[in-house]
Structure 1
């Protein structure tokens, strides 16, 4: 019987802490290598700078303190990705049309949107996606009030923000059991 508070050895005598560091290093190496491959292309995948980038990413992940685990509902990720791709294409076409239109039909301004997502990863992801979508940019967050710069104040941008918020909320389970993030005050 193990004493309380004592680490239980795993296969080959590995402690859970060592296994966690190994998992972080492996994950960082895979992500950094994948990112290098995407950015540099397959023909330069084995370039020495790529190897250096991977080593530095692993060193940074081990040197920095580990954050708490962010639970996500991965089953909702394809829906969020599809929404993002569709909104990116539709927004890109809209921005291009406005740019080449002879009268340049833009009415830039700010939209204030009250967000109900929890602070931390859900809100950060939401604001990042808003800034990546064509024609919108997250400008400021005060409490739960998000200021978004839009190309057309009179467009239905708030509806798009609501839909994006709903999809991001579905990705992150609420820490309060039985309560959806939209219900948080």
Structure 2
């Protein structure tokens, strides 16, 4: 294993740990008709992983950190949702940011704006995927489609609050975390 590959593995594991700690150490429960949402730093660190590690490694780090949290805190029923939606968000947003970063042509200001746009896309995907997944779960559990849509619609504000928190947290942390990452690389 060469040194570059070792650093890559270490950074992926580091981000998985930080994602886990970002939820474990700080979480505020929010009311919702469906699920058990809470405000936390986990998704901020997933987005930072997407922006710094790229789509594949961030997907591994994000899924690992979120799934470990769910396993250790009694949210085993959420693991399929977390696994699929985090994988999709990391891969999609990672590819979008990679394309946008090329357009920035090394200009730090443009790259920062593209990072925030990517965080916003991550947030939008969170709302859409969570709504779709949870509605599907309710229908599969026996609810009518109308009842499932109404129940899930009442839970959207919690997801939107988390999405906005993720964008704000990314805006604050992206530049210092990026500098630290570049120094370590």
Which is higher, the Rg of structure 1 or of structure 2?
1
Higher relative helix content: 2
Which TM-score applies when normalising by structure 2?
0.31
Q: TM-score, normalised by structure 1?
A: 0.31
Q: Tell me which of the two structures has the higher relative contact order, counting C-alpha pairs closer than 8 angstroms and 6 or more residues apart.
A: 2
